[in-house]
């Protein structure tokens, strides 16, 4: 897969902290409509146990835009006219977001992403359920 030029932007695969690094015990306060997300690690093998080659993992990492919600801002999902069905996600949920969405930063050694509440595209029960390998063909 050929990645488009992103200028000085950091790609998704470079913005994932390994799973063995725990979440920060104290998280920053989130005023407003923000959702704090920890991008998830890329799977290294298929559900059947086959190890994925490094090239496939790199491609999956580039395509992966899923993370775990660590914190929801004080005003997130409070606009009843916009969010008729209520909050789209809560702390602990796994969510998907667009590739170049949000502000990336490191907090206490963990790479995090800050997005607006309406930038959550969908909620999923398990990031392993997403199979981005289906779009890797040349």
Domain boundaries, the chain: 12-127
Fold of 12-127: 10 Kd Chaperonin, Protein Cpn10; Chain O (2.30.33)
Residue with tokens 């309406």: 118
pLDDT score for 54: 76
pLDDT at 83 over 70: yes
Q: Is the pTM of this model over 0.85?
A: no
Percent of all residues in the chain with a pLDDT value above 90, rounded to a whole number:
46
Residues 128 and 47 sit within 8 Å (Cβ to Cβ): yes
Taking alpha carbons only, the member of 137, 52, 61 closest to residue 99 is 61
Chain-centre distance for alpha carbon 84: 24
Could you give the angle at the alpha carbon of 14 between the alpha carbons of 1 and 30, nearest 5°? 125
Rounded CA Rg of the chain: 16
Residues 16 and 39 sit within 8 Å (Cβ to Cβ): yes
pLDDT score for 95: 94
pLDDT bin (cut points 50, 70, 90) of residue 1 is very low
Could you give the angle at the alpha carbon of 40 between the alpha carbons of 118 and 28, nearest 5°? 60
pLDDT in tens, 10-62: 665 565 666 678 889 999 999 899 999 998 876 677 777 888 787 776 666 66
């Amino acid at each position: 897969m050929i990645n488009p030029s992103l200028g000085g932007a950091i790609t998704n695969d470079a913005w994932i902290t390994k799973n063995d690094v725990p979440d920060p015990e104290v998280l920053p306060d989130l005023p407003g409509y923000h959702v704090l997300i920890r991008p998830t690690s890329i799977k290294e093998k298929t559900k059947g146990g086959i190890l994925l080659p490094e090239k496939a993992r790199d491609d999956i990492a580039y395509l992966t835009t899923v993370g775990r919600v660590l914190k929801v801002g004080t005003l997130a999902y409070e606009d009843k006219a916009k969010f008729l069905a209520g909050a789209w996600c809560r702390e602990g949920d796994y969510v998907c977001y667009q590739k170049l969405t949000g502000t990336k930063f490191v907090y206490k050694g963990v790479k995090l992403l800050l997005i607006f509440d309406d930038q959550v595209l969908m909620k999923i029960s398990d990031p392993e359920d997403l199979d981005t390998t289906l779009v890797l063909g040349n």
